Amino acid sequence: MKRVVAVVIIHLIFAGAGSAQAQTAENNSPPISKTTAANNSAAQTAEAKTWPLPGIWSFQIRLANVFDSNINRDEEELNSYGFTPGLRVHFQNRESKPWFEFSYEVGAHTYTKTDKWDRVSHNFRTSASRSVTKRLEFETRGEISIKGTSEDRELSNQYTLQQEIKYRLARRTRLNLFGAYRLKRYDQDTGSDSINPYIGIELEQRFSGGRTLELAYRYDKNRPLSPRRRYIRWSYSAEFTTPLGKRDKLELEVKYRPKLYERQVKVGKKRVPRHDHKWTWSAIWSHALRENLALELGYEFERRSSNDPDKRYQAHQMVVGFVYRW
């Protein structure tokens, strides 16, 4: 298996080196979405990014190698290496300004030192949009994730229906309001099955030169069968994207997510509700090797503090990936 993977990667590198075309970063540097780039990193339905897709049908093959310094997100760190190939199929009803889209992605996940995260994951996503005026647009999204990894590092099946209202404040400024109803289901621990609705707001600002800035806020409430796992969470994020020349693109993101549980923990001589604070910093650099082939390097640092000492951790994750599309 290792020999086959090595041959494929070497072939991709030399195939890309032989291309002398220099296209723009927007057209030729398709970034891996945050859902798949870091595999186990936190990713929201409302915040998932995908690269531009030409044509009615498009396909993507991804090969990624991952190093995680704390794959279990535990106080006792366990570092692991992973290999995650994936295939993605995308359909849109029009080549330009489509109002209906559908995508399916399947990925294999294999890691060293643990088999907990070894799995085959599936993701189905569809969206339909309608422009009411030149400034106002409504979009409805549906998503099914099978054996995906949620923002809480839990292997669950998730079913999400989301409504989004987009309003263009100015030519380069857009305000998005969104709300979703999400179900989480667990194969091993049915007591964690929950309803997890959320609402949020996002401001998107575009600048000259292809640079963009996105600021977002989200509030969600987890309602499982077990009272110990009930919580409310606030999410704040900022993402900046900028081209670096004709072939390169850089994405920087920071997230802060405080979480308040219904369960209580003992702090000193008192029992108080468990309260966590999680910070995530990430960066993804994308380089176009040729028109349909991109190399991506990603890094993420995650740190959680808590009034429960057993729930504190920090983790580093690095990703090297190749994406080929047609």
Residues 295-300 have a mean pLDDT of 97
Model pTM score? 0.81
- CA 74 – CA 315 distance, rounded (Å): 9
Least confident of 41-55, 184-198, 228-242, 303-317: 41-55
Is the CA virtual torsion 8, 10, 15, 16 positive or negative? positive
CB 132 within 8 A of CB 138: yes
CB within 8 A of 34, min separation 6: which ones?
41, 43, 47, 48, 49, 253, 282, 284
Query: For strand 212-224 and strand 198-206, is the pairing parallel, antiparallel, or unpaired?
Result: antiparallel
Please report, as a single letter, which amino acid is at residue 217: Y
Closest CA to 104 of 127, 85, 123, 126: 123
Q: Assess whether pLDDT exceeds 90 at residue 105.
A: yes
Beta strand 119-131 with 136-149 is antiparallel
215 pairs with which residues across the strands?
Answer: 203, 238
Q: What is the dihedral of CA 232, 315, 146, 129, to 10 degrees?
A: 70
> If pLDDT is split at 50, 70 and 90, which confidence band does 54 have?
low
